[in-house]
Amino acid sequence: MAEETKSPATELLDRYCKTMKENEKFLRSNAEETYGEVIDLINDAIDLVGFAVERENSKENYVKRSMIFFLYHILMPLSYAIYTDLLIGNLPACFMELRLMLESLVKCYCADLKYPEHTFFQEKLELLENKLRKNSISTSKLMKDLGKRIGLKNDFVTLWGKLSEYWMHTKGIIDKIVSQIGEKSGAPSWALVIPINYAEDDLDTIKELGKRISQFRKLLKVTIENYKQETSEGI
């Protein structure tokens, strides 16, 4: 029997699987701390969603609470997305996803706090966004105010700024690429093609990701604890 010819799509899928396995081995050997932070972030999401599901009024809260929306539809899927993107070598996407998680955490918290009388999370978030636009309040200002309220000072906005400046804008990406070419005589792997195998030159960026995830996890923990105290129903 003649050997079956693989389609380009199947060949690409095989390449993804092979690269993910090789990168997983590389991470365990060279960036175990970052790899652990990514896994722990997933576990944080699983624990929080599990707690929300087990509550007696979980169905009502699913519709009403912006923070429940955050847990189910942002924290959970994006924590898994970061894991997947890390394994395929897509580091910029990991930072972008983390930024969205951070911004969503702050806005969902504030929406529930400011509009407790409303019974639909989407309406709360729309009211919050309208208020921010009407009063020319920036996302960074919202983060500063929430940080002060729950004892985190400028921790939210500092992390958000680093994720935004270096990983969400053209200049930041260009600077990252040019800097690595100048320092290490080669472009970072993620700036070439995805999926791609990691090299030692990528370790600084991988470790930076681990640091940012660690910072986010600490903010998440404090925010959730304060949310439970500030709302009568908790998570």
- Angle among Cα 124, 130, 133 to the nearest 5 degrees reads 145
Residue 70 to residue 49: CA distance in whole angstroms: 10
CB 197 within 8 A of CB 89: yes
CB 221 within 8 A of CB 211: no
Residue 158 to residue 177: CA distance in whole angstroms: 22
CB 163 within 8 A of CB 99: yes
Q: Write down the pLDDT at residue 234.
A: 55
**Number of helices and strands in the chain (H, E):** 11, 0
Q: For the residues of 119-182, what is the DSSP string, one character each?
A: S-HHHHHHHHHHHHHHTT--HHHHHHHHHHHTT-TTHHHHHHHHHHHHHTSHHHHHHHHHHHHH
Q: Write down the pLDDT at residue 17.
A: 96
From first to last of its 235 residues, the chain has per-residue pLDDT tens of: 455 677 888 999 999 999 999 999 999 999 999 999 999 999 999 999 988 887 777 788 888 899 999 999 999 999 999 999 999 999 999 999 999 999 999 999 999 999 999 999 999 999 999 999 999 999 999 999 999 999 999 999 999 999 998 898 899 899 889 988 888 878 888 888 999 999 999 999 999 999 999 999 999 999 999 998 877 655 5
Residue 172 to residue 154: CA distance in whole angstroms: 22
pLDDT digits over 88-141, tens only? 999 999 999 999 999 999 999 999 999 999 999 999 999 999 999 999 999 999
Q: Write down the pLDDT at residue 206.
A: 97
